[in-house]
Structure 1
């Protein structure tokens, strides 16, 4: 399998995804569908067969979300994670993902991430895009760090956004079932049934650590300084701020 990326609409995509781009773009959302969108680590026929309302997952940036989602005023839940932890997690993930280019060495991958030359394109464009559109569409913007710090509060926020009035007992149960440790051992969440030709988890699991601040295990002092300068430059035009772990 060739591990190359193809640029589609200005965004780097794995070749097999790029080949099906028109099918993705023309996807027909239905009224009541909910889209869960994230930048990574942060089959359309099967989806079409799902009964409504559907909960759909995507890594698409806001400008490439199929127009039918906006036409039907679908609700979108967007989860954003700070840049340093994202690139650290994505680096380890791309070592498993067999249709993305080999991420090694780390220093080159970090540079590619800053330039947006990794699968699904620029993290900066992705997080800023949904942030800027949240006042125009039904978009709930949630931070990964808040999910780790105050899970019950964030789950309640999601329930309210979806128009659900859930008892505290149910919210607590959802919080318990959605903890990292529980989901890491859940085949429905850890992708353990994926064929190794697509996702080779022999060295590391799909769900690796799920920690805030894990970037410190990868960044050198110099890399952190360079990254910080670039981060400030790329984020200076946005009001979006993260609780970046120092």
Structure 2
């Protein structure tokens, strides 16, 4: 019964916040987050939820701090790479964790749309890495995430009567996926310290994407180190790794659905009906017709 109470206490409601759907867990510390003091060597990991955030966080952590073995075995990834805007009862605030980081660079993650990023990151010209994932796989992943994560609004029902998967990428926490990816994609043309990677590319050829990442960061790890990183950051290994799979976080009920579920491209085909897929594609065409960012929903 205590779990039920926890659920009803924690499950938040969505509201419109400066034009973006949000919950209190990401707006309650707003002033402090906006006043965050970034540094020139900070690396901001910017993603829409369920787009490979933990994966890229873990890769970056290994690139910079692999030799600090105690980090790997006793510090969960969400403390090594704090979630800047999160503020939930009984957990340290993300902004405070970020302030306390002693590493250089500091690795910090956000799900903010580009317009919500604290201005000091731009002023300090901090490097940013944005990972994007195709909308159909993301809708499936986000749906399962909402089922198991008690600080997210209820997942609702995947069926057509619920408004179909279209709603999963439009009326959810952190707003519309369309606005999010287009906002970050456009920023790339005016802000040179931003690298955009695609989840599908990472799945298809992790070595190639790791090289892109290293080039952007000015790093040249040995081929042995790259091999170790690619092995540690392989989905199956991360899924087993208690410091990476969020199993130590009580607000997530991994019996409902694992935090690291499949990590595949194209799993949407196991969820979408033909009718849902058609409705989704029409909606997608309409919303993305003026966008130059191109996604693959299979590889």
TM range (shorter): over 0.9
Q: CA deviation at 1:173?
A: 1.4
Partner of 1:221: 274
Question: Once the two structures are superposed, what CA deviation does each residue of 1:116-166 show, in whole Å capped at 9, x if it has no partner?
Answer: 210111101111111111122111100000001110010111111111011
Partner of 1:165: 220
SS of the residue 2:201 aligns to = helix
Q: Which moved more, 1:169-178 or 1:208-217?
A: 169-178
Match of 1:84 among 123, 127, 136: 136
Partner of 1:73: 125
Q: CA separation in 2, counterparts of 1:244 and 1:117?
A: 21
Partner of 2:156: 104
Q: CA separation in 2, counterparts of 1:98 and 1:169?
A: 40
Partner of 1:45: 96
Q: CA separation in 2, counterparts of 1:227 and 1:46?
A: 39
Partner of 1:234: 287
Is the 2:13–2:153 Cα contact (8 Å) retained in structure 1? yes
Partner of 1:190: 245
Stretches of structure 2 lacking an aligned partner (at least 5 in a row):
1-8, 52-93
Q: Which moved more, 1:75-84 or 1:160-169?
A: 160-169
Partner of 1:131: 185
Q: How many residues align?
A: 243
Q: CA separation in 1, counterparts of 2:116 and 2:178?
A: 15
Q: CA deviation at 1:31?
A: 1.3
Is the 1:6–1:18 Cα contact (8 Å) retained in structure 2? no
Scaled by the length of structure 1, the TM-score of the pair is: 0.95
Scaled by the length of structure 2, the TM-score of the pair is: 0.78
Q: CA separation in 2, counterparts of 1:128 and 1:68?
A: 22
Q: CA separation in 2, counterparts of 1:188 and 1:8?
A: 33
Q: CA deviation at 1:217?
A: 1.1
Partner of 2:297: 244
Is the 2:143–2:168 Cα contact (8 Å) retained in structure 1? no
Question: Once the two structures are superposed, what CA deviation does each residue of 1:192-239 show, in whole Å capped at 9, x if it has no partner?
Answer: 0001xx211122110000010000111110110000011011111111
Stretches of structure 1 lacking an aligned partner (at least 5 in a row):
none
Match of 1:211 among 264, 288, 294: 264
Q: CA separation in 2, counterparts of 1:228 and 1:199?
A: 31
Q: CA separation in 1, counterparts of 2:232 and 2:189?
A: 31
Q: CA RMSD in A?
A: 1.4
Is the 1:33–1:54 Cα contact (8 Å) retained in structure 2? yes
SS of the residue 1:187 aligns to = coil
Q: Does 1:36 align with 2:90?
A: no
Q: CA separation in 1, counterparts of 2:131 and 2:141?
A: 15
